[in-house]
Amino acid sequence: KLLVEHKLSHIPNEERPHACDQCEKRFNSVGQLKWHNIYSHTGKSNFVCEICGKVFIHQCKLNKHSLKHTEERPFKCEICGKGFKSKICIERHMDMVHTDETPFGCDVCGKKYKFKNTFTNHKCVKP
């Protein structure tokens, strides 16, 4: 479900079917439009990003959003030192990079890969 929502976020604004009658923004669903109207046009939201103007109802959401406008990466990997902007990003990094698991195996040559894209490239190269 999250992947579908993420893909929809890449639809250009002018192609989104639900238009706000108070500003130029458009949305992919009625729910998104209702949320926008409540928190952008009723004055119920208290937390506004000083950089882009995006509005939040919770301070913690604004804090997380604010990391998008900075190069700050407060979550550091204890193994390699690489920094990440969020806890979920460092968790994904740990699961994908710092593991011995090789779930993608070639049934032709037996070689194993950590990452699906590397395995897919291997399959394309092998006869």
Quick check: pTM over 0.75?
Answer: no
d(CA 4, CA 120): 23
Tens digits of residue pLDDT in 18-61 = 999 988 889 888 888 888 887 777 766 578 888 888 878 788 88
What is the CATH topology of the domain spanning 2-69? Double Stranded RNA Binding Domain (3.30.160)
**Residue 77 confidence (pLDDT) above 90:** yes
Find the mean pLDDT for residues 73-101. Answer: 90
Tokens of 36: 């926008």
From-to residues of CATH 3.30.160.60 in the chain? 71-127
Tokens of 68: 């998008």
CATH class of 71-127: alpha beta
